[in-house]
Structure 1
Amino acid sequence: MKEELQMNPNLLVEFLQKPPREFTKADMIAFIREKKIKMINFMYPAGDGRLKTLNFVINNESYLDSILTCGERVDGSSLFSFIQAGSSDLYVVPRFRTAFVDPFSEIPTLSLLCSFFNKDGEPLESSPEYTLQKASKAFTEVTGMQFEAMGELEYYVIAQKEELFPATDQRGYHESGPYAKFNEFRTECMSYIAQAGGQIKYGHSEVGNFTLGDKIYEQNEIEFLPTNVEDAADQLMIAKWIIRNLAYTYGLDVTFAPKITTGKAGSGLHIHMRIMKNGKSQMLKDGKLSDTARKAIAGMMVLAPSITAFGNTNPTSYFRLVPHQEAPTNICWGDRNRSVLVRVPLGWTAKKDMCSLANPLEKSVRYDTTQKQTVEMRSPDGSADIYQLLSGLAVACRYGLEMPDALEIAQKTYVDVNIHLAENKDKLEKLDQLPSSCEASADRLQQQRAIFESYNVFSSTMIDGIIKKLKSYQDVSLRSELEKNPEEMAELVETYFHCG
């Protein structure tokens, strides 16, 4: 606990000297009083995947207590397509653990993410946040373990072209300044995200950089640390909001869109997962990937086609998921292999003290590296509904742990080679493929919906709404139609430029 509080950049943690999960209403009032906060913002994700905001002036302490206790009512029909105008009132009630100081407001403002409740004061079954809560709870109740996750948030920064120190096209991975132009913008984003409670692992420039007309496009990434899956979703939502607002402040444009133009790297939202029990990782056994991890992967292999309905939600998603590129199309998994759907990253299992090898003055120590092992789903992108996506992955991993033939499925879908090489053609032909369009994704979700609806995780209303939306794009042949039509491709990209 003490280590969790020391050097913590979260402004509320620093002041209250307790972790966010222990924040109370009294803590909020004490912080507001001491820091002379003048306004409160309620924020909540709507059907378009973006955070919405409701502003309150603190009239007096009685009114402050009222809004923190009772929340407020909002028009649900303007937030979600599945809610009818005739019965549209919803309550939004703040979750104190999500509180953060708005870094962009000139008026001292405290922002809190909210949960939705219906007219009877019950959690809204089809709200994204409550769906994830149910998915996390079902995982623990069924398996006796906890599901944790974190995201790799990739995005492009777009600005006027510069002539000095031009970047090398598509060679931006971990580039330093002055060739990378937006490292300082990224680190400022990271600082704000950390102050807002985001558990950041690191940030860096990514592969994608190119010039288009008079604009430069530079890809960056901010990666998080594994945490409770509900907190992971909240942190990603706040991070996207911060990145966009800081870009606006500097007159930059930012996009999390999966694809910008042909032949250039698209942006993904890779999700890392780990399974914990009593604070200990269950991902390894005797230095190797455990059966628990393999069963969870098997669940993702089975449900991967329908998970695209949550993680790849507009037609441009499927211009990124094309064969022979780093983005996966084949449903398989492997070690340290970026062409597979689920990657098992390098996991510090060599049992060597590399710190003492690199630094001869350091004594060799035993450091528990097992908590570093994750597995990574590589298909999702920035169009994802983050709460639905993480809910779907929690369901898939739980389902894998329930399947009697999970280890057999894991073995059949494992690859230890470049799957695209000619000599692996037979193996490739046996693998299932990800959908190639929104419509195809909707069909796969329809086929597998019962699994997501089990344990009352996804409501049938939510699944119906997702299928209807995906079907509305009518994009079955769109990828082949636009393959040689850059003008129409550019129009499509523009339409979904600010997705998610």
Structure 2
Amino acid sequence: MSYKAEYIWIDGTEPTARLRSKTKILPDGADLPIWGFDGSSTNQAEGRASDCVLKPVFSCPDPIRGGDNKLVMCEVLLTDMTPHPSNTRSALVPVAGKFGAQEPLFGIEQEYTFFQNDRPLGFPAGGFPAPQGFYYCGVGADEVFGREIVEAHLDACLAAGLSISGINAEVMPGQWEFQVGPLSPLDVADQLWVARWLLYRVAEEYGIAATLDPKPVKGDWNGAGAHTNFSTKAMRESYEPIITACEALGEKAQEHIKGYGAEIEHRLTGLHETAPWSEFSYGVSNRGASVRIPWQAEVDKKGYLEDRRPNANCDPYTVTRLIVDTCCEALEKAGHV
């Protein structure tokens, strides 16, 4: 007997990478080997030297095919077994290891938008729906669009064993969110990429496209983000480290903005529950700030922070690396370890 292993990887498309996958048939009980692909077809190599290597780093049950079949998240390597330039996971590994003793944890809120016939699901042909206001966490066929796909995706993620912690309808019609975590930096990023692949794959069954475009509809409509909740052991025990982390994020604000997703300036305008991309702020219960401290954290004098700047199309390997490097270094210097 044999099983199907769906090898998934991140390509070299710029400015926003895309997911690719293909199937390998393996004998029952066989380990997941390295594999290869044509990098000249994925913006990762030239035709004269097109071979790239897939190295499995995370696997889980395949809820689409069922049985003993697997989904396999991979890093991309060059043929000399060094990381490919597009391999952002390899840069996260040493940072996560360096600050592992601080026990950093992430929860990422992945927003996305369904499209059908070149318009968001729920938008009428040649026009616009009623203004925003009733769609967020709404109920009813006049307010919610695509729930059957969202529920199927949630079931698929749970069957795969992913740490999905919730779903909700978002502010714009056809816009939804799922949350992954709390998990360690590598785990949350690996699982978010697999959850994204499952989103595309499940929506495919319904003839619907899911997009991570940070501003899918121009004008007076909310964009799509990947709000990133972060804490360390010290932050989960006292309040001062949370403030230290917020201050550190402010000191490296523009470095983070550059790594938080393409076209971020289209979404972070200062409107629609965002702070301007060119300014940094933080505040308690403030969804118009760059970084929000939940009110409960202030009351309890411990907890976490929410970086509201990352785009829906961000690379979670890059986002978690930047946040861990910036915040954990500052906490270490301040003695909050």
**TM-score range relative to shorter protein:** 0.7 to 0.9
Matches of 1:393 and 1:251 in 2, distance apart?
37
The separation in 1 between residues aligned to 2:99 and 2:327, in whole angstroms, is 8
1:289 pairs with one of 239, 254, 263: 239
Partner amino acid for 1:42? Y
Shift of the 106–239 alpha-carbon distance from structure 1 to 2, 3 Å rule, reads: closer
Deviation at 1:403, TM superposition (A): 5.2
Q: Residues of 2 paired with 1:388 and 1:264: CA distance?
A: 27
Change in 2 beyond 3 A, CA 1:390/1:86:
farther
Report if aligned partners of 2:105, 2:182 keep a CA contact under 8 Å in 1: yes
- Report whether the alignment pairs 1:267 with 2:224: yes
Distance 2:161 2:206 in 1: 23
Return the letter of the residue paired with 2:20.
K
The match for 1:184 among 127, 148, 159 is 148
State yes or no: 1:43 paired with 2:11: no
Deviation of residue 88 (structure 1)? 5.1
**Aligned equivalent of 2:24:** 56
TM-score (norm 1): 0.58
Q: Does structure 2 conserve the Cα–Cα contact (< 8 Å) formed by 1:102 and 1:108?
A: no
Check if 1:306 corresponds to 2:255: yes
Q: Is the 8 A contact 1:284 1:290 kept in 2?
A: no
1:220 aligned residue (176, 179, 182):
176
Question: Offset of 1:267 from its aligned partner?
Answer: 0.7
Question: Aligned pairs, how many?
Answer: 321
Instruction: State the partner residue of 2:74.
Output: 114
Deviation at 1:350, TM superposition (A): 5.3
- Conserved 8 A contact 2:284-2:298: no
1:382 to 308, 312, 320: 312
Task: State the match for 2:89 in structure 1.
Answer: 129
Cα distance, 1:41 vs structure 2: 1.6
2: CA distance between counterparts of 1:383 and 1:290? 32
Instruction: Tell whether the 8 Å contact from 1:167 to 1:180 is kept in structure 2 after alignment.
Output: no
Which ranges of 4 or more aligned residues in structure 1 deviate by more than 6 Å? none
Paired position in structure 2 for 1:279:
none
- Shift in Å at residue 113 of structure 1? 1.0
Between Structure 1 and Structure 2, the one with more helix by share is 1
What is the SS of the residue equivalent to 2:273?
coil
Distance in 1 between residues matched to 2:123 and 2:269, nearest whole Å:
29
Q: Between Structure 1 and Structure 2, whose CA radius of gyration is higher?
A: 1
Equivalent residue, structure 1, for 2:117: none
Contact 2:275 2:289 in 1 (8 A): yes
Would the alpha carbon gap of residues 190 and 264 (structure 1) be closer, same or farther in structure 2, given more than 3 Å must change?
Answer: same
Could you tell me which runs of 5 or more consecutive residues in structure 1 were left unpaired when the two chains were aligned: 1-32, 210-217, 277-281, 352-368, 408-500
User: Closer, same or farther in 2 for the Cα pair 1:107/1:403, shift >3 Å?
Assistant: closer
CA distance in 2, matches of 1:85, 1:137: 36
Post-superposition Cα deviations, 1:416-437, rounded to whole Å, max 9, x if no partner, equal xxxxxxxxxxxxxxxxxxxxxx
Amino acid of the structure 1 residue aligned with 2:319: L
* Alpha-carbon displacement from aligned partner over 1:426-458 (angstroms, at most 9, x marks no partner): xxxxxxxxxxxxxxxxxxxxxxxxxxxxxxxxx
- C-alpha contact (below 8 Å) 1:258/1:267 kept by paired residues: yes
Letter paired with 1:311: Y
**Partner in structure 2 of residue 237 of structure 1:** 193
Quick one: which of 86, 110, 123 aligns to 1:153? 110
User: Are the counterparts in 2 of residues 159 and 253 from structure 1 also a CA contact under 8 Å?
Assistant: no
Which one has a larger percent strand, Structure 1 or Structure 2? 2
Any residues of structure 2 matched to 1:97-108 within 5 Å, and which? Answer: 97-103=58-64, 105=65
Q: Deviations over 1:351-394 (max 9, x none)?
A: 7xxxxxxxxxxxxxxxxx96xx3211111112212212221222
Query: RMSD of the TM alignment (CA)?
Result: 3.1
Query: Counterpart of 1:129 in structure 2: which amino acid?
Result: R
Q: How does 1:163-202 map to 2 (within 5 A)?
A: 169-171=131-133, 172-178=135-141, 179-202=143-166
Q: What is the aligned counterpart of 2:210 among 247, 254, 273?
A: 254
C-alpha displacement of 1:126: 5.7
Q: Against the structure 1 CA distance between its residues 342 and 253, is the aligned structure 2 distance closer, same or farther, given a 3 Å change threshold? A: same
